[in-house]
Copies of this chain bind each other. A is one copy, B any other.
Amino acid sequence: MKSITTSFSPQLYALHANPDAIVVVVDVLRATSAICTAMHHGVERMIPVASLEEAFNYKKKGYLVAAERDAVKQDGVDFGNSPFHFMSPELEGKTIAISTTNGTQAIQAAKDAKHIVIGSFLNLNSLATWLEAQEKEVVILCAGWKNRFNLEDSLFAGALANALIKNGAFETSCDSTIAMGHLFQLASHDLYAFLENSSHRKRLKNLNLEKDIRYCLQYSIMDTIPVVENGSIVRLKVHQKLSLNNA
């Protein structure tokens, strides 16, 4: 049986790190939902950068750049981290550098992991199916909010864990994963309502981002799985085994 563990925060990641596991990075509102969406709409490559300085350096070099802090698009760049910024047919085949408050920091935190994939509710089923086919343990790394636990990323951890455990190939003895498995069962029929009082939902609501939230809380509307390869995010070919990607 393969194990699943969940890190509720990049700050706790070292306690869960497993050099041979697949790390699933999730930042539901909105970085990893936006990355999944961009990849699904044909973006060829995304370069996650932790600092705004690095993002602006990419801009100077002529790259398309997405940069967000505290849910607000930064001046002088092309996109924020709304998934709706990444649906244009003109982005097909393009490379975009991206820096966000929490999501790209989480990818950075996991940088020593051999295998990093990008999760969101949008690609939940495909991701679960693909993880089942790999002979690897799974660590779910929640981006959280500035290293704090957050509800939507942790609920995703519960959703993914439940899907993997249900099919019999995975088990968990990780309390974070067990807790979120229960909580997701409570929340799953209406994530939007369940998150009504969550801290980040309120933060985005104040910025009129209800449309983004509703979009990001949809289950399994795409089969795209973004994967980190040599520091860049690219699309995983679904029938490809991870070992081929990291040869």
Contact = CB atoms under 8 A, between A and B. Distances in A.
B173 A151 contact: no
Contacts of A147: 12, 15
Contact of A148 (B15, B149, B198): B15
A66 to B, nearest CB: 25
A209 interface: no
Interface in A162-187: 173-176, 178-179, 182-183, 186-187
Interface in A140-154: 145-151, 154
Nearest to A181: B197
Contacts of A173: 197, 199, 202
Interface string A101-128: 0000000000000000000000000000
Secondary structure call for the A interface: helix
A82 to B, nearest CB: 21
A218 to B, nearest CB: 21
A12 B7 CA distance: 12
Interface string A8-43: 110110011000000000000000000000000000
A178 B197 contact: yes
B199 A149 contact: no
Contacts of A178: 151, 197-198
Contacts of A175: 145, 148-151, 154, 198-200
Given A15-B147, A183-B183, 7 more contacts: A145-B175, A148-B175, A149-B179, A151-B179, A154-B179, A175-B199, A179-B183
22 contacts: A8-B8, A8-B149, A9-B12, A11-B11, A11-B12, A11-B15, A12-B12, A12-B147, A15-B148, A148-B174, A148-B175, A148-B176, A149-B175, A150-B175, A151-B175, A151-B179, A154-B179, A173-B202, A175-B198, A175-B200, A182-B186, A186-B186
